Amino acid sequence: MASSPSGLHAAFHRIWRRRGPAAWLLLPVSLLFGLLTGLRRRLYRAGLLRAERLPVPVLVVGNIFVGGTGKTPLTIWLAQRLRAAGFHPGVVSRGYGASLDGPRLVSADASPDEVGDEPLLIARHAGCPMAVGPARAAAGRALLAAHPDVDLLLLDDGLQHYALARDLEIILFDGRGAGNGWLLPAGPLREPLSRRRDVTVVNGGAAPGMPADAFGMELRGEWAVQLAPPHGRMRLSALAARAPALKIAAAAGIGNPERYFAMLEGQGLRFERMPLPDHYAFDDNPFGGSSADVILITEKDAVKCRHSDALRNDARLWFVPVEAVIDAALADYIVEKLRGFPTDRHPGLPDLQTPAGL
């Protein structure tokens, strides 16, 4: 049976829901954290810490709520929409979980140990070049050198990486909103809710404390794909109809497993929950002791399961691809913003004043 996320992790998430006694006890540490992070931002703003500016526009997709909010599907959606608008985007990411000592280009057939699980998903679905590395500016330079036609960069999960200058910032929240609204560790926020941004997106409907002009986003998954050959496909609604004759489990090694479970329940499925820590490595087999007939996993987890002999041939494993469903007005807004950027930062940059409309 899979192990649940640590009790400490779950305890903090309970604390962060409200401003209760435990949160008040941690508040002095949060105030110190806020002073230190605020000082760092001011040092970059004053130029005492250097932020490198690349020769193409940089659009950051990030969050201030610690953990997963759905940045990978949003990044994929943006890359696809910007390509449809006539741009040639590239994506840069940290490559969390990979062993990296410098920038590395990402190919769709790379190993998650080499580049990370989320970058592999982006590379396979976004249809654009991608690079990873702990220094995002260096990764961006490597990407531009290898792909000189790239005319803008999407920075996946780099909101607090101030060493790379950015032109647009998108902050993504989910249904948890801002929690109790306090900074770590008394609350779930890396930066204050009042932090400036160009766009706010909320994944999963209305959330407390979100601005009125926030764009809505939903993650939808209607199909399950079998991990083992012959890689069959099955509608989740059809699986739900067969559920009385099957024992179903669902596992998720993402930042907010409950969001994945709620999506499956929305398709009429009932199952045993198997939450896993975010970026779970699958060095062991968490399903070895499960008696389930069908185990639904996320596509992010499937990326790593494919590299395990024990898991990639387990016929019980089916992954559920999801896609972001977002108001097209968000892409229109981003394109409109891009129209105002100078065209002399990169000699190969097309005229951003008149990109093809969506």
Bridge partners, residue 104, by sequence? 132
Query: What are φ and ψ of residue 230, in 5° steps?
Result: -90, 20
> Does the annotation flag 75 for ligand binding?
no
Q: How far apart are CA 260 and CA 251, in angstroms?
A: 9
User: Closest Cα to residue 296, out of 204, 205, 244, 222?
Assistant: 222
Provide the H-helix boundaries in 85-183. Answer: 112-115, 117-125, 136-146
For the chain, helix, strand, coil in percent to 5 are 30, 20, 50
| Residue 189 C-beta-side C-alpha neighbours within 13 Å | 25
Estimate to the nearest angstrom the gap between the alpha carbon of 118 and the chain centroid: 7
> Does the annotation flag 72 for ligand binding?
yes
Q: Which amino acid is at 54?
A: L
> Does the annotation flag 216 for ligand binding?
no
pLDDT tens, position by position, for the chain (358 residues)? 444 445 677 788 899 999 999 999 999 999 999 999 999 999 999 999 999 999 999 999 999 999 889 999 999 999 999 999 999 999 999 998 788 889 999 998 899 999 999 999 999 999 999 999 999 999 999 999 999 999 999 999 999 999 999 999 999 999 999 999 999 999 999 999 999 999 999 998 778 889 999 999 999 999 999 999 999 999 999 999 998 899 999 999 998 899 999 999 999 999 999 999 988 999 999 999 999 999 999 999 999 999 998 899 999 999 999 999 999 999 999 999 987 776 555 443 333 332 222 2
- Prediction pTM value: 0.91
> Does the annotation flag 90 for ligand binding?
no
Residue 226 token pair: 């079998």
Strand 215-220 relative to strand 323-326, pairing? antiparallel
Quick one: CA dihedral 314, 1, 5, 285, positive or negative? negative
Query: What are φ and ψ of residue 319, in 5° steps?
Result: -105, 155
CA dihedral 223, 224, 228, 231 (to 10 degrees): -20
SS3 (DSSP) at 174: strand
